[in-house]
Each structure stands twice: as structure tokens, then as C-alpha cells.
Structure 1
Amino acid sequence: MTLMVAKEEEMGRDLEHLQFAEVRTARARERVNYLSKLRDASANGTPERLQAETVLANFEAIHQSMEQFCHRMRKKLIRYQLGIRSGADVMSQRMTPIHIMPMM
């Protein structure tokens, strides 16, 4: 039973981390879109355009890492939820399901 409680606490923390990461990832996507528009507003070959492309590439790489983190956390929580539903523990059958938001 203690192991079950520890797993539930871990899952709760993971779910909180995922929710936080998804909000930050959505904001990062908005930032990437904004930086893309700024880059497109600059003329080709100008120093401003080159700088904007560099900044945009960095933000896209960070955003991609954030997306991958969210994906890994979702998979982990889904695996955990499926483990509970497999019937390994009678107590686990009474647990409420996890609702994981899809990525935007």
C-alpha cells in the first residue's frame, strides 16, 4: 500500500510538471510565431534579418525541446494510467482517470 501511495504522489507531481510545461510550451509557440513575423518583416540579407534568423532558430530549438519533454511526460503518465487499469491492485481500480490535454 505504501508503494501505491508513493506512486500516486509521483504521478501527481508528474501531472503538475506536465501542466506547467504545456502552458510554457504554448507560450513558447506564440513567441516563435512572433519572432517569425519579425524576421519576415526584415529585408533579406540585412544584418537585422540575419540576427532575427539566429534568434528564431534558437527559440525554435528551445521550443522543440519543450515539446519533446511534454511528449515524454504524457507517455509516462499514460503508461502509469494503463498500469493501474491492468488490475494489478484492487485499490487502484477505484482511482479516477487522468485527463491529459493534447498538445496545441
Structure 2
Amino acid sequence: MARPWRVVAGGLEVRVRATPRGGRDALDGVEERADGSCVLKVRVRAAPADGAANAAIRDVLREALGCPAGSVALAAGASARAKLFRIAGDGEALAARLAAAVGG
């Protein structure tokens, strides 16, 4: 299965499918879409209002990767369920941590 992340200059890009009001804050696995693309499913308790869900997703990613809050940024999809996050740091190490966090 393909990965929903890719190593880029200066870090990692992660394609996320958000589930706001999901009852808990957690990584929810990798999903292969009908078009063959992959997304990292992230479930958060926050509602999708005033950026609260985006901030919660950023925190879930930050905690899973063990990186500072300032290193995780929303790059695209502020009001969509499909989002792109960029994480600054050693891309290979971040990819390995993310793979371990989702069990693969």
C-alpha cells in the first residue's frame, strides 16, 4: 500500500482525512481511496469551527511524531476534510516515526 506521506526538502508532507467530532483525538490508520491515493485518517473531538479541528489535528500529529508544535503546519485544506500538513524536521526520521505510529 502507498503511504499518505512523502519526504520533502526540510521535512514531511502528510495527506490527512479529518474526522471532526470523532469522540477522541487519535490517528485512525491509513486509508486507500478509490482513486488509488492514500490518506492518514485522523479523528479529533473538536468541532470544525474557528479552526479548532485543524488545531486538534496538528496536535495529534505533533504528539505522534514527538515534535514541537511550531514544526507542524496546515498547508492546504483549511475548510475541507482532505488536508495537507507539512512537518519541519528530518523527513526520513519523521516518516519512520509516523509509519511506526500507524503500525506499518
TM-score range, shorter chain: under 0.3
Normalized per residue, which structure has more helix?
1
TM-score (norm 2): 0.24
Q: TM-score if structure 1 supplies the norm length?
A: 0.24
In proportion to residue count, which structure has more strand? 2
